[in-house]
Amino acid sequence: MVNDDSSKMRVIPLVNGIKEDNNRLMYLLNMMRDGYQNNRWKNQETGTIQEIYCDGCDLKLKSLSPTTERLVWLVENLKKAMGNRELDPENKATKHRNELIDHESRTLLEAKTNILNYDASKNFPHKWWVLESNSQPDIFILTDKYIFVGDVKGPEEALTKSTNMDMDRLQLVREIEGAMKYEKYNYVGGKQRQIISFYIVSEDFLGRNGNKEDLQKTMNGDPSMWDNSLKHLSHQSIEEIKETYIGFTTWEDITETLGFIFTDVQ
């Protein structure tokens, strides 16, 4: 989720423009470059737009919960995921979570039992045994054919690569996985919708140290940008997640190509 107010304010006119003319969504997607698969998206029919979620939209940010498999892996591998980090001593959940780190069998069993017995189609509750919170894509668009997941980054930001409980957990990966789970439990027959993911960044973002390299690694399928975030999944499942990524574009390109006017973009 974007933390930069100026980038957040650009999302609203972009989304409103797409609502006014659905073809703008296809034009936006055509602008994406350096995806995991070359020409993954080009002039494809996006389908009929059903819902759009964003901060400031009529439908607020879509909240996507982690999968059961992900939470069980974290319970079993919390020490590995945390690395050298230490838990907050003021947090009431720390006692139980330290027991998970120490692999105390009774606590491990209790945590896994709670996760496995919970209705996976619902959001997990705020309990000590839930070690990853929901993700919230900046742009989440549902059509009758696709689910589009857009992660927006401000000029002073970098790609978000960790959570409080895992040093290797990329934000976009969480959002893709959450979208796949959402579709699993919400499609109503017929062919399931495909997930398509992308970044929108700024030229200033690209100029900051390391950001362009991270996008290059994302395009190349580098394990640091994908596999390390998905240790709970098989190689085939990881490939399916990588293949959703069609690349990135910039606000400056959107202004030039689509004619949107953003007050802070020259």
Give the integer Cα–Cα distance in Å for 35 and 38: 6
What DSSP character marks residue 110?
H
Give the integer Cα–Cα distance in Å for 238 and 254: 30
Q: What is the pLDDT of residue 264?
A: 59
Give the integer Cα–Cα distance in Å for 239 and 248: 19
Q: Burial of 160 by CB count in 10 Å (0-12 exposed, 13-18 middle, 19+ buried)?
A: middle
Q: What is the pLDDT of residue 266?
A: 47
Helices (H) and strands (E) in the chain, counts: 11, 5
- HEC states along 16-84? HHHHHCCHHHHHHHHCCECCCCCCCCCCCCCCCEEEEECCCCCECCCCECCCHHHHHHHHHCHHHHHCC
Give the integer Cα–Cα distance in Å for 179 and 195: 7
Q: What is the pLDDT of residue 4?
A: 59
pTM metric for this prediction: 0.94
What does the domain layout of the chain look like in residue ranges? 5-64+136-258, 68-117
Q: What is the pLDDT of residue 43?
A: 76
Averaged over successive runs of 10 residues, the pLDDT of the chain (266 residues) comes to: 68 93 94 82 88 92 97 98 92 95 97 97 95 97 97 89 96 98 89 94 94 96 97 97 96 91 61
Give the integer Cα–Cα distance in Å for 172 and 178: 10
